[in-house]
Structure 1
Amino acid sequence: MNNINDNTKIENGRTFMNMKIIGSGSYLPDNVINNSHFEDRIFLDETGEPIKYPESIIGKFKDITGIAERRYASKNQVASDLAFIAAERAISNAEVDKETLDYIIVAHNYGDVQYGTTQSDTVPSLATRVKKKLGIRNPSCIAYDLLFGCPGWNEGMIQANSFIKSGMAKRCMVIGTETLSRVVDPYDRDSMIYADGAGAVIVEGTTGEAGLLSFESATYAYDEADYLYFGSSFNSQHQEGTRYIKMKGRKIYEFALNKVPLAMQVCVEKANLDVTSIKKILIHQANEKMDEAIISRFYGLYHMQAPKGIMPMSIHKFGNSSVATIPTLYDLIIQGKIEDHSLEKGDIILFASVGAGMNINAFTYKF
C-alpha cells in the first residue's frame, strides 16, 4: 500500500500536510487479576487431556509472555463503556469541542459482550454507542467500527490520515477497545494472556512537519487466515456449542517474526528515515519474548543491535488487550506512567502490530 504524503490536499481553503495527535486518553479497569488467580485452574491440551506438571505452568507463562497481572472490566461494563471513558479523557486532554469531530473510529474484535456470556453485540455499532454516550448531536460526525484484529487501532489511524489528507475531515477520534476476558476458554492456558482496556486519541490536520509520515499495511489470508479463530472449549463438556478465542501460537510467532520486521522496514524506507533516528517503537503488547524477537530481527535487517530502551512495555501489568494495547501504552507514556520512557518534540516513533487476519501494519510518526 502506498503512503499518502503528497502535501496537496485542501479542505475549506486549508492545506493539510499531515495528521497529528493532539490529545490522548485511556482506561484500564481497576480489577487487577494476578497470575496467582490461575493457580488452581485445570488446563487442558487440544485433545482434552490435562496438562502435565500444572504447577509449572504459571512460572513458565510469565517467563515467556512477561505478564504478571492483567485488568478485567467490572461486571457492569462492556467494551463500549471502556471506550467511552477513554474517549472522554482524550477529548479533555485535547481541549476540543466534541461536536467538531468529523469521525469516530472504534477498533475492536468482539463488540459488547455482557459479563457471563460470550455473545457479541454490535448493533448498533460500538462507535455509535460511544457517540451517544458522549452526547454528540452533530450528524456529520460519522461513527463506525473497524475489525482488523489486534492491528485495528493502527489501521484506524491510517484511515483517519487518509480522511484528513483527502479533505474529508479536519478532526477524528480513533479508539481501540476490547474485553477479551469475556471470550476466553477457561480450560485453555492461553486464557491467561488476555485482558481488557481502551485507549483513544484525537487527531487533526496540520500544516506543520509533525505527524504521521508513512505507513504500511497488509493482510495475509491464503494460508494464515485461521491462525487466530473462534473454536470450541478444550473441555468438550463445557458449554457445548459455545466458542472462544483460540490461536495457533507457534504459527503466529513464526509469522510475526518473518513479516512484521519487514513491514517496519518498508515503512521506515517510505518515510526516507535513517533507522537510527527512531526514538521509540510502540509495538502491540502481545508477548514479551515475541516482541523482543521482532525488534531484534528488525534491527538485524540493518546489521545493528536494538538500542537500549527503544521498546516501552506495558504487558507486565496490563496483559494483552488486543487493539487497546498500543493506544493505552502511548497514553501512559504521555502521562509519565511508563518508567524511564518519555517523548520529546521531534522524536520519531514507529508503531507496529500483528493480529487476526492475519494482518500486519506499521506507521512512522514525528512527535
Structure 2
Amino acid sequence: MINAVITGSGHFMPPNVVKNTHFLNHEFYDEKGEFIDKPNEEIIQKFKEITEIEERRYANHDMMNSDLATYAGKMALEDAGVDKEDLDYVMVATNYGDIDPVTQFADVMPSISVRVKHKLGIKNNQCKPYDMTFGCPGWIEAMILASQLIKAGIAKKILVIGAETLSRAIDPHDRSAMIFADGAGAVVLEAREGDEEFGVLEHITISDNLEEMEFLTNGPSLKPGYSKATCSISMKGRKVYEYALRKVPAAIKRVLDNAGLDITDVNKVLLHQANAKMDRAMVQRLFRLYGKREFPDDIDPMTVQKLGNSSVATVPTMFDLISRGELGDHKFNDGDNVVFGSVGAGMNINAIVYKFPK
C-alpha cells in the first residue's frame, strides 16, 4: 500500500521577542467602542492568567510572510534530503498572504505559494503551487489534501508549509492583539510503500459555516475613528472558546474511532494554540469522552507561552521543535501515534491521526 509519511520538517522563528510589557502603553477598548478604564498592568496580568502567554515573536519589517515560509520550507527540504526540483506540489497555508508592515495591505496576487516556489528557485514547471486558506486549521487541511494526493498516486513528494504574520493583522486597541504572533513551519510529505499502514492514518474535517462564520472575522478597530488597522482580526472570544470545547474533543474521538484507536494508544496530541487554558480544557474533555478524568502531563506539548498564536504555523512549528529535541523532554518514537488538531475561522475543525513508522 502507499503511505503518506513525513520525511523532514523545519520552522522559522522570527527574531523579535515581544514581551507582554510591549502593550503597557496601548489604549484598549471593548466591543462597544468604549475605553477600558483599567490599568494596563491589570489588563495584561488578567490576559496572562487566562492564556499563559508571556511573549510572542514578530517578524522584521523587511520580512514578508512568503520569506518566513521559504525559510521553513528550505529547512524541511534539507532535513528530508529532497531535491526541490522533485517536488510535485508546494502547498502553503495562510490567511492573509503577504501583509505590508506599514499599510497593512494583504497581497494575495500572485498567490503566496507561487511566491514561495519562486523564492525557493524551483524551475520545474510541473511542480504545482497551491494555497490553502482555511483559518488556523489551514496547515492541517493542506496535510489532509497532500496525503490524499499521495495515496491516490497523483503525487509523490509535497512540501506543506504554514506561515503567517498576524502581528500585521491586529487592532492595537483590542486586547486580543496580545494573542497573535508570526512564524512558519513546514514538512515534506512523501509516498512510501509498505505492507503495514503508517504515516497519515485517518483525518476528519468539520465546517460549521452558518452563524459560526461570525465568530472570527476581519473588522474595524474597536477604537472609534481609528483607521490604520485595515485588516484587523475580530474575534468573539467567548463564542470561539465555547465552540472549541463543544466540538473539538468529539471530532478527535471520531477520527480515533475511525482509525481503530483508543485514547490510550495516543502518545501526543498537538493542538493549535491560542489559549493554554482552552487547550487543556479540550484535552481534558477528550479524555472524559473515554471515561478518564486524568491525562498524562506530557501528552499535550505547548508553545503558546513563548510563541503566542501563529495560526497555521503553530502545529508544524511544534512538530519540528519536538522532532529536533528542542521542546523540553518531548520526543517522538518509532511506532508512536500522534494527533494533529485545530479549530479556527469559519468555523472549521480538523484532525489527523499520524503513525510514525517502526
TM range (shorter): over 0.9
Find the counterpart in structure 1 of residue 94 from structure 2.
Answer: 108
Which residue in 2 is equivalent to 1:46? 31
Flag the 1:330–1:115 CA change in 2: closer, same or farther, 3 A.
Answer: same
Residue from 193, 204, 207 that aligns with 1:207: 193
Query: Partner of 1:255 in structure 2?
Result: 243
Q: Which moved more, 1:120-129 or 1:236-245?
A: 236-245
Partner of 1:31: 16
CA distance in 2, matches of 1:306, 1:243: 39
**In structure 2, what residue type is equivalent to 1:82?**
L
Q: Which residue number in structure 2 is paired with residue 130 of structure 1?
A: 116
Q: Give the aligned residue type for 1:268.
A: L
1:241, CA displacement in angstroms?
Answer: 8.3
CA distance in structure 1 between the aligned counterparts of 2:248 and 2:348, rounded to whole angstroms: 10
Letter in 2 for 1:135: G
Alignment-mate amino acid for residue 51 of structure 1: I
In 2 relative to 1, CA 258–84 (structure 1 residues): closer, same or farther, beyond 3 Å?
same
Q: Does the Cα contact within 8 Å between 1:117 and 1:182 map onto a contact in 2?
A: no
2:46 is equivalent to residue 57 of structure 1 = no
Q: Once the two structures are superposed, what CA deviation does each residue of 1:293-329 show, in whole Å capped at 9, x if it has no partner?
A: 0000000000112222100000111000000000000
Contact 2:170 2:229 in 1 (8 A): no
Match of 2:296 in 1: 307
Residue 365 of structure 1 is matched in structure 2 by 354
State the AA in 2 paired with 1:291.
Answer: D
**1:267 aligns to 2:252 (yes or no):** no
Partners of 2:171 and 2:177 within 8 A in 1: yes
SS of 2:284's partner is helix
Equivalent in 160, 165, 179 of residue 174 of structure 1? 160
- Alignment pair present for 1:245 and 2:251: no
Q: For residue 274 of structure 1, report the CA deviation from its aligned partner.
A: 2.0
In 2, the alpha carbon distance for the partners of 1:169 and 1:198 equals: 23
Q: Report the counterpart of residue 3 of structure 1 in structure 2.
A: none
How many Å apart are 1:286 and its aligned residue?
1.4
| Conserved? CA contact 1:185–1:191, under 8 Å | yes
Three-state SS of the structure 2 residue aligned to 1:226 is helix
**Residue 243 and residue 106 in structure 1: after superposition, are their counterparts in 2 closer, same or farther (change >3 A)?**
closer
Moved more, 240-249 or 227-236: 240-249
Name 2:60's counterpart in structure 1. Answer: 74
Q: Distance in 2 between matches of 1:21 and 1:144?
A: 19
Question: Who is 1:220 aligned against?
Answer: 208
Residue type of the alignment partner of 1:134: L
1:348 partnered with 2:334: no
Aligned equivalents of 1:273, 1:207: Cα separation in 2 = 22
Q: Could you tell me how far apart the structure 2 residues matched to 1:315 and 1:65 are?
A: 8
Q: Is the 8 A contact 2:104 2:229 kept in 1?
A: no
| Counterpart Cα distance in 2 of 1:92 and 1:243 | 35
Q: Give yes or no for contact 1:77–1:114 (8 Å, CA) kept in 2.
A: no
Unpaired segments ≥5 residues, structure 2: none
CA RMSD of aligned residues (A): 1.0
Q: Per the alignment, in what secondary structure is the counterpart of residue 225 of structure 1?
A: helix
TM-score (norm 2): 0.97
SS of the residue corresponding to residue 354 of structure 1 reads strand
C-alpha contact 2:165 2:310 (8 A) present in aligned 1: yes
Paired residue for 2:103? 117
Offset, 1:119: 1.1
Q: Deviations over 1:236-268 (max 9, x none)?
A: 221178341110000000000010001100110
Tell me, what secondary structure is at the counterpart of 2:107? coil
Aligned to 2:136: 150
Residue 317 in structure 1 maps to residue 317 in structure 2: no
Aligned partners of 2:104, 2:281: CA distance in 1, in Å?
Answer: 33
Identity of aligned residues (%): 51
Listed one character per residue, the Cα deviations across residues 50-91 of structure 1 (whole Å, up to 9, x for unaligned) are 213233111111111111000000000111000000000000
Q: For 1:330 and 1:65, locate their aligned partners in 2 and report how far apart those are by CA, in whole Å.
A: 21
The one of 73, 76, 82 aligned to 1:87: 73
AA aligned to 1:309 is D
Aligned counterparts of 1:296 and 1:92: Cα–Cα separation in 2? 37
Contact 1:44 1:188 in 2 (8 A): yes
The equivalent residue for 1:276 is: 264
Q: Is the 8 A contact 1:24 1:90 kept in 2?
A: yes
- Separation of aligned partners in 2, 1:282 and 1:194: 18
Which one of 329, 336, 340 corresponds to residue 318 of structure 2?
329
The number of residue pairs the alignment matches comes to: 352
SS of aligned partner of 1:172: strand
